[in-house]
């Protein structure tokens, strides 16, 4: 069985795209979340091997969600999904405990490289 | 790690660089519009910054960084130097000088440089907060100092040039390093990672029990990491084998000149002995000649330095330019360990940087355009040095859009550089046109102009160091410049020829072959000559230098020297071929009106002067 992933993004378009990239590469997307609060909740519930996290989401942003998740599980493997120009936020997310990042627009190969680094 | 060794190296090196800085500042003050002092200052200050950061002298590094920023701004034309700015530079160099010894003694953190840094930043970015050198937050710089010595192994990480969000990647690098131990002396400071000044390279110290290899492995896990250098190799100069003595370049210059003259004298001796048929004497002279030749190659070698010293300066400005233009570019550097004469190397950087900037600015397309053309969004620039016999070949290749020759032709016709029915035969003709002063600088369509520097300036810069340039461009696929440089400038192998009573020297590097042709009146005007069943553009040297009697010689067979630059050839018709000789070319202070093909003069073994011709200007 492939390693499990929780995909967090408020845009269904992005969730679908990430899910497709990961599924095709043999990972198993076991849940989705469309807000930071939901991400925290679903993480507790599903305990996935890793999480992809959008930065800007309604009802608790991605960075706060990272803080909450890492507080509960310091080993949580969270991959930030950021748009260009959000570098300061990405740095903040890393300081909050995110383990890697990819930049939109996604190139599937870049996403998979980052996922592989995380799931070594 | 033997830290004392590095501290001693730092003391000696920084002293030399600061001395250089003072000399350059004085030059600059004398001619404020001259680019050379600024470039030299930038290099020296940059070097000091690197060393200081490596040794964990954060305050010194901050000050150097701020000064370097200002110098870069001046160099790139963003700031116009005035007396206030110069004064500030003088004071900054003084402050650096005053800070070196305290830093080495462990007092770096107490250096009072904040005002100076703020003043420098104010000039570069008026009214802006400059967090990247915010030395008030010395928390980042708080180096655990034992007895004046920084703790932990130095680590230097460079990121892949096209890495997205390099700053965030750098933050990940630190996160990875922290998995292994305690990280300190981070430079540039963490809070500058997300700013545009972050150049994709960071240094820090890591206190850990992990091996160097393990450190490198873990840090590579951050992704987009190009190189990780841990520990001893970091601060050491490139050549650490054996014991070293520091010798100034001037002394090596003197030595090289003396040996070069010795080579010439020895050649003359060999010539004379050959007329005497005295074998013991011939043996002795032959032995002297060999020893002189060995001495020449030893001195030449002592002056060599790796091209990486110049190449390594490029990724940062190229990256910054690409970012400014919203392009993506990976610069790939190969052959950094190839060595060149120091004096050539010093002059190589600026013209090469112009070529690279042109490649980013005009060669590479915007990401969307690249994708539309079926290319990866990230453009590639290859900068490669290779050694070929007695020359070094430097290649700058981009995979951009190429130069649009028809568009250049249209522009050239409209500006009178090209007749209306004339076309550019090939890339050599294109390069010759782009190299004409005043042409390329104002042509957008060429894809190589702009930023105030035309190809003519680049070519002049390369020619000054004996370089030959060729250009190959393919529409849609990219452009390649190749630069062939001599290993050393001092001694040139030349073919000596005569016209009338005068002797001339032709650098052998340009001589393809020699032969015989029939004289014809056309040759004076550069008309074609038939040579070995083909046709060649002919030039009569006697007509060129203004000897009047050439007409009388029409009909006679004469020696011809076939000169070749790039893929263009001409036949230079002369009276006699004298033979091959090593000559030491002395640049002549050419009076106005000196023809461009007059390259310099040399004194031959018999003490008589000879003019050296520049084939590149003839062909």
Residue B377: asked if its preceding bond is cis (omega within 30°), the reply is no
Residues of B in contact with A103 (CB under 8 A): 164-165
Q: What is the chain A residue with the closest CA to B368?
A: A105
pLDDT reading at A10 higher than 50: yes
What is the model's pLDDT at position B150? 53
Residues B340 and B445 in one domain: yes
And the tokens for B538? Answer: 């002919």
Task: Tell me how many domains chain A contains.
Answer: 1
B240 located within any domain: no
Label residue A94 by pLDDT band (50, 70, 90): very high
What is the model's pLDDT at position B243? 58
Residue A81 buriedness (CB in 10 A; 0-12 / 13-18 / 19+):
buried
Label residue A47 by pLDDT band (50, 70, 90): very high
Arithmetic mean of pLDDT, A62-80: 94
> Which of residues B583 and A98 earns the better pLDDT score?
A98
Rounded distance between C-alpha atoms, residue B64 and residue B49, angstroms: 5
Residues B429 and B551 in one domain: no
Q: What is the CATH number of the domain that holds B372?
A: 3.30.565.10
B243 located within any domain: no
**Alpha carbon of A55: minimum distance to chain B alpha carbons (Å):** 14
Q: What is the CATH number of the domain that holds A90?
A: 3.40.50.2300
- Dihedral angle computed from the Cα positions of residues B583, B585, B590 and B595, in that order, rounded to the nearest 10 degrees: 60
Contact criterion met (CB below 8 Å) for B610 and B496: yes
B142-168 confidence digits (pLDDT tens): 333 333 345 678 888 988 877 888 888
Label residue A49 by pLDDT band (50, 70, 90): very high
> Which of residues B135 and B265 earns the better pLDDT score?
B265
Alpha helix positions (H), B205-341: 212-220, 249-274, 279-302, 308-311, 315-324
Domain of residue A79, residue span: 4-118
What is the model's pLDDT at position B521? 63
Rounded distance between C-alpha atoms, residue B340 and residue B466, angstroms: 12
Contact B221 A117 (CB under 8 A): yes
B538-563 confidence digits (pLDDT tens): 888 877 777 655 555 556 778 888 88
Arithmetic mean of pLDDT, B321-339: 86
- Selecting from B167, B222, B223 the residue whose C-beta is nearest the C-beta of A87 gives B167
> Which of residues B231 and B609 earns the better pLDDT score?
B609
Arithmetic mean of pLDDT, B462-488: 85
- The alpha carbon of residue B26 and the mean position of all alpha carbons in its chain are separated, in whole angstroms, by 24
Mean pLDDT of chain B: 79
- Selecting from A84, A91, A113 the residue whose C-beta is nearest the C-beta of B167 gives A91
Residues of B in contact with A99 (CB under 8 A): 172, 175
What is the model's pLDDT at position B552? 57
B53-103 confidence digits (pLDDT tens): 877 888 898 999 999 889 988 888 888 888 888 889 988 998 998 899 888
Q: Please tell me if residue B193 touches chain A, with a CB cutoff of 8 Å.
A: yes
Residues of B in contact with A95 (CB under 8 A): 171
Label residue B30 by pLDDT band (50, 70, 90): confident
Q: What is the CATH number of the domain that holds B514?
A: 2.30.30.40
When mean pLDDT is compared across B49-63, B207-221, B428-442, the lowest value belongs to: B428-442
Asked which of B430, B457, B486 is the last residue of a domain, the reply is: B486
Strand order of the β-sheet with B534-540 is B511-518, B557-565, B568-573, B534-540, B528-531
CA-nearest of B465, B454, B155, B431 to B307 is B465
Percentage of residues in chain A with pLDDT exceeding 70? 99
CA-nearest of B440, B489, B433 to B463 is B489
Asked which of B144, B177, B195 is the last residue of a domain, the reply is: B144
B 314-333: CB under 8 A from A: none
Q: Which of A37-46, B208-217, B401-410, B498-507 has the highest mean pLDDT?
A: A37-46
Arithmetic mean of pLDDT, B463-485: 87
DSSP B109: G
Residues of A in contact with B221 (CB under 8 A): 117, 120
Residues B444 and B340 in one domain: yes
Arithmetic mean of pLDDT, B246-254: 79
When mean pLDDT is compared across B11-25, B119-133, B465-479, the lowest value belongs to: B119-133
Residues of A in contact with B193 (CB under 8 A): 87, 91
Residues B424 and B357 in one domain: yes
Contact B165 A90 (CB under 8 A): yes
**Alpha carbon of A46: minimum distance to chain B alpha carbons (Å):** 26
Domain of residue B547, residue span: 491-618
Q: What is the CATH number of the domain that holds B209?
A: 3.30.70.1110
B242 located within any domain: no
What is the model's pLDDT at position B446? 40
Task: Tell me how many domains chain B contains.
Answer: 5
Count of CB pairs separated by less than 8 Å, A with B: 39
What is the model's pLDDT at position B591? 67
pLDDT reading at B107 higher than 80: yes
Arithmetic mean of pLDDT, B435-458: 56
Concatenating the DSSP letter of every residue in A22-79 gives: HHHTT-EEEEEESSHHHHHHHHHHH--SEEEEESS-SSS-HHHHHHHHHHH-TT--EE
B276-328 confidence digits (pLDDT tens): 777 788 888 888 888 888 888 788 778 888 888 888 778 777 877 888 888 88
> Which of residues A116 and B197 earns the better pLDDT score?
A116
Q: Please tell me if residue B196 touches chain A, with a CB cutoff of 8 Å.
A: no
pLDDT reading at B493 higher than 80: no
Please identify which residue in the block is written with the tokens 């010894």: B101
Residues of B in contact with A66 (CB under 8 A): none
Q: Please tell me if residue B167 touches chain A, with a CB cutoff of 8 Å.
A: yes
What is the model's pLDDT at position B3? 60
pLDDT reading at B346 higher than 80: yes
- Selecting from B168, B221, B223 the residue whose C-beta is nearest the C-beta of A87 gives B168
Percentage of residues in chain B with pLDDT exceeding 70? 84
């Amino acid at each position: 069985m492939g390693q499990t992933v929780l995909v967090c993004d408020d845009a269904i378009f992005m969730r679908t795209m990430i899910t497709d990239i990961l599924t095709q590469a043999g990972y198993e997307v076991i849940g989705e979340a469309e807000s930071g609060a939901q991400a925290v909740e679903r993480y507790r519930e599903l305990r996935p091997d890793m999480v992809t996290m959008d930065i800007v989401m309604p009802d608790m942003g991605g960075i706060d969600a990272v803080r909450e998740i890492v507080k509960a599980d310091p080993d949580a493997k969270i991959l930030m999904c950021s748009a260009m120009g959000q570098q300061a936020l990405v740095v903040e997310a890393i300081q909050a405990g995110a383990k890697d990042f990819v930049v939109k627009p996604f190139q599937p190969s870049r996403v998979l490289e980052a996922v592989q680094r995380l799931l070594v | 790690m033997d830290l004392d060794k590095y501290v001693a190296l730092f003391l000696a090196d920084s002293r030399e660089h600061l001395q250089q800085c003072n000399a350059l500042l004085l030059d600059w003050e004398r001619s404020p519009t001259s680019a050379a002092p600024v470039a030299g200052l930038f290099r020296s200050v940059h070097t000091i910054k690197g060393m200081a950061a490596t040794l964990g002298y954060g305050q010194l590094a901050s000050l150097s960084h701020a000064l370097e920023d200002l110098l870069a701004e001046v160099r790139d034309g963003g700031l116009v130097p005035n007396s206030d700015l110069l004064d500030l530079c003088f004071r900054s160099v003084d402050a650096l000088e005053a800070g070196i010894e305290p830093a080495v003694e462990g007092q770096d953190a107490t250096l009072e440089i904040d005002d100076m840094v703020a003043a420098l930043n104010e000039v570069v970015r008026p009214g802006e907060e400059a967090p990247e050198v915010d030395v008030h937050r010395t928390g980042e710089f708080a180096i655990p100092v034992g007895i004046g010595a920084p703790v932990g192994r130095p680590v230097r990480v460079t990121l892949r040039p096209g890495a997205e969000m390099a700053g965030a990647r750098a933050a990940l690098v630190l996160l990875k390093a922290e998995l292994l131990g305690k990280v300190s002396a981070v430079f540039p400071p963490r809070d500058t990672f997300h700013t545009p000044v972050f150049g994709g390279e960071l240094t820090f110290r890591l206190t850990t029990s992990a091996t160097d290899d393990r450190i490198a492995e873990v840090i590579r896990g951050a992704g987009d990491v190009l190189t990780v250098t841990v520990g001893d190799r970091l601060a050491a100069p490139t050549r650490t084998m054996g014991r070293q003595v520091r010798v100034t370049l001037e002394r090596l210059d003197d030595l090289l000149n003396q040996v070069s003259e010795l080579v010439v004298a020895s050649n003359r001796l060999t010539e004379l002995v050959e007329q005497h048929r005295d074998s013991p004497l011939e043996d002795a002279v032959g032995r002297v000649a060999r020893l002189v030749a060995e001495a020449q190659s030893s001195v030449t070698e002592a002056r060599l330095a790796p091209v990486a010293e110049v190449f390594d300066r490029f990724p940062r400005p190229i990256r910054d330019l690409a970012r400014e233009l919203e392009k993506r570019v990976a610069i790939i550097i190969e052959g950094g360990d190839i060595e060149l004469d120091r004096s050539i190397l010093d002059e190589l950087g600026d013209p090469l940087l112009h070529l690279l900037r042109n490649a980013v600015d005009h060669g590479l397309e915007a990401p969307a355009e690249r994708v539309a053309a079926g290319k990866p969004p990230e453009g590639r620039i290859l900068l490669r040095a290779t050694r070929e016999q007695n020359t070094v070949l430097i290649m700058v290749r981009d995979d951009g859009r190429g130069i649009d020759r028809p568009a250049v032709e249209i522009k050239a016709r409209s500006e009178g550089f090209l007749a209306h029915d004339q076309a550019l035969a090939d890339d050599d003709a294109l390069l010759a046109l782009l190299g004409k002063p005043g042409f390329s600088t104002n042509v957008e369509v060429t894809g190589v102009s702009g930023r105030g520097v035309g190809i003519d300036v680049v070519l002049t810069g390369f020619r000054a160091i004996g370089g030959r340039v060729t250009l190959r461009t393919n529409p849609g696929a990219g452009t390649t410049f190749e630069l062939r440089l001599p290993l050393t400038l001092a001694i040139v192998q030349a073919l000596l020829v005569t016209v009338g009573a005068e002797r001339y020297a032709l650098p052998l590097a340009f001589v393809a072959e020699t032969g015989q042709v029939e004289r014809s009146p056309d040759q004076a005007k550069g008309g074609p000559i038939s040579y070995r069943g083909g046709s060649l553009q002919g030039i009569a040297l006697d007509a060129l230098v203004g000897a009047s009697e050439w007409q009388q010689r029409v009909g006679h067979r004469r020696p011809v020297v076939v000169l070749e630059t790039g893929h263009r050839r001409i036949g230079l018709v002369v009276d006699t071929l004298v033979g091959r000789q090593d000559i030491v070319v002395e640049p002549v202070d050419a009076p106005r009106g000196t023809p461009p093909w007059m390259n310099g003069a040399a004194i031959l073994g018999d003490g008589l002067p000879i003019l050296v011709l520049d084939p590149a200007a003839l062909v």
